[in-house]
Amino acid sequence: MKRVMTIGGSDCSGGAGIQADIKTFAARGVYGTSVLTAITAQNSYGVHEVHEVPVEVVDAQIAAIMNDNGLAVDYAKTGMLYSAAMIEVVAKALKRYKIPFVLDPVMMAGSGGILLEENALSLLIEQLLPLCTVVTPNAPEARFISGVEIRTKEDAKEAALKIHKLGAAAVIIKGGHIKSEISAGKATDLIYNGEFVEISSPIIKTERIVHGAGCSFSAALAAELAKGNPLRDAAASAKKFVYDAIMDGTEVSTMIVVDQVQRLRKDADRYWTLGNVKEAVRMLTKIDGFETIIPEVGTNIGMAIAGATSEKEVAAVNGRIVPTREGVTAGCVDFGVSSHVARLILAMMEQDKERRSAINVKYSPEIVEACKLLGMSIASFERDKEPADVKTMNWGVRAASGEFVPDVIFDLGARGKEPMVRIFGNTAVEVAGKVKRIVECLEQR
């Protein structure tokens, strides 16, 4: 595993700085080490206090990492350096240990507050810029470094050329503040390392401050470069990573704090959800008498990932679960294979986000009565009252979930529509367990 070092300040709100960097390193599959340069007291209302770590302690942190063969890093990134003295110490250490690094010229916090002293900028340009592999300013930072007012993409190109001439091997001017691009509904990052390359993404429209995006981008870029990826590919990967992290971000006070690990959680949840449905199907096929409650159209069971919003995020049986001469059989379990059960589950999640699973079984008064005896809450809807311009499951679940969120929803069918009972639960295994109890209850009557 590649090792990457962040050299920067601490953000006590957890959204930016070394906190964001370490989370990003973990999400991008590299081992992260950290060198703390400053402690900040900040929140969504701004930076209230800055306490710089003594420069000799910063130098000692870098030495401790680089003098340990098990920790010595392949790449680094710098963030908040704050003072001229700090920049000088960090520049000497990076040069001494010949560490390739991404320079993130942090000057202001997203929520407001100075993170670089005014007299330190010239030293950053003189000592760090010529050493870095790539520098990643946003438009305001690029203006301070280059002296070019950046309103358009052409202005950004002019600024990139000037920064390159100052010694940076490569320049990425992030496009989130370029007015002409924002007006066009996109954020275009401009890369220059002898030739220009543009990487665009849609603008994320929000009235809130986005916190931690710049730190996460430079950290992700450093991680991808450490893996040996070319600059363009690394930048594209880092940009997509940050876009997703903002889209999945957490609303905290007046901020959207980027969530670097949300995608990892989603992937883990997809894996777990798929396994849960497979186990539920196995349970169902082993229930003696289960075939007696399978409707003519067959049955299906599904489960959505947490926070699902589309049918592609619901795992179910491809085809149906049906009785055969050899017993109850089922197709493979996968995501996005059953629109019917997916719409049913998504409609229920609008009422209760934890109710992520459902199954359909045939209707009979005895089945409904068994559900009542087992303590399940029951509701129904009438298909004859279904509006012409709606999907049955979306409307039916909403119609049946008026005063409470039921465990069971049934309807008596309509012309060409088989009566049906739907059983809900938090997981597919839980739903399969309910079905088992229903079948056992029916057999005892």
Residue 60 near residue 89 (C-beta atoms within 8 A):
no
HEC letters along 164-205: HHCCCCCEEEEHHHCHHHHHCCEEEEEEECCCEEEEEEECCC
At residue 392, the pLDDT reads: 75
- Blockwise average pLDDT, block size 10, the chain, 445 residues: 97 92 96 96 86 96 96 96 93 97 83 65 92 94 91 91 96 78 74 93 79 93 98 96 88 86 91 98 96 95 95 96 91 95 95 97 96 96 81 84 92 87 98 97 87
**Long-range contacts from 396-403, C-beta under 8 angstroms, 24+ separation:** 396/347, 397/344, 397/347, 397/348, 397/350, 397/351, 398/347, 398/350, 398/351, 401/348, 401/351
Instruction: Look at strands 301-304 and 255-257 and give their pairing.
Output: unpaired
Q: Measured between alpha carbons, how far is 180 from 78 in angstroms, rounded to an integer? A: 29
Residue 192: closest CA among 139, 156, 233, 242:
156
At residue 177, the pLDDT reads: 62
Residue 155 near residue 148 (C-beta atoms within 8 A):
yes
At residue 23, the pLDDT reads: 96
Cα–Cα–Cα angle for 148, 153, 155, rounded to 5 degrees: 20
Tokens 């990139």 -> residue: 160
Phi, psi of 43 (to 5 degrees): -150, -160
Provide the CB-side half-sphere exposure for 328 (13 A, CA): 20
At residue 434, the pLDDT reads: 98
Q: Please, is 218 exposed, middle or buried when counting C-beta atoms within 10 Å of its C-beta (0-12, 13-18, 19+)?
A: buried
At residue 181, the pLDDT reads: 63
C-alpha of 293 from chain center: 40
How much is the pTM? 0.80
| Domains with residue ranges and CATH for the chain | 3-259 (3.40.1190.20), 266-444 (3.40.225.10)
Q: Which two tokens stand for residue 303?
A: 């489960």
Q: Which two tokens stand for residue 290?
A: 């289960």
Q: Please, is 245 exposed, middle or buried when counting C-beta atoms within 10 Å of its C-beta (0-12, 13-18, 19+)?
A: buried
